[in-house]
Structure 1
Amino acid sequence: MKTLLIILSLGGLALTVIPSVLVFLQEITLEDHKLYMIFGMILWFTTSPFWIKEQEL
């Protein structure tokens, strides 16, 4: 389960980085960029808290 959450979280991060590069290269439109970024943000913030834990001191 934790592995699946990590994969989904990294996919969300990829959806926040890759579209920016694609807009810069003029491969996708700005509207598509915004859609991918929102989906990636939601994916990251809904999956990452379940596998990232703070280190205890």
Structure 2
Amino acid sequence: MKTILKPLSYIGLALTVVPAFLVFYGVLSLADHKLLMLAGMLLWFVTAPFWILEKKVD
């Protein structure tokens, strides 16, 4: 499960960073930028907590 969640989380992070550069270079419209950023944010916040917050065994 963790092997699937990590790549999905990193894709979510990439979707929040890469579109900003694409808008800066004129490749992407602002509306598409906002949509990709929203998708990346949702993907990150849905997948990351499951592999970042590890349960400690006492």
Could you tell me the TM-score, scaled by structure 2's length?
0.90
Could you tell me the TM-score, scaled by structure 1's length?
0.91
Q: Which amino acid aligns with 2:24?
A: F
Structure 2, unaligned runs of 5 or more: none
The whole-number CA distance in structure 2 between the counterparts of 1:3 and 1:15 is 19
The whole-number CA distance in structure 2 between the counterparts of 1:29 and 1:48 is 28
Aligned to 2:5: 5
> Identity of aligned pairs, percent?
60
Two-structure CA RMSD over aligned residues (Å): 1.2
Structure 1, unaligned runs of 5 or more: none
Over alpha carbons, which structure has the higher Rg?
A: 2
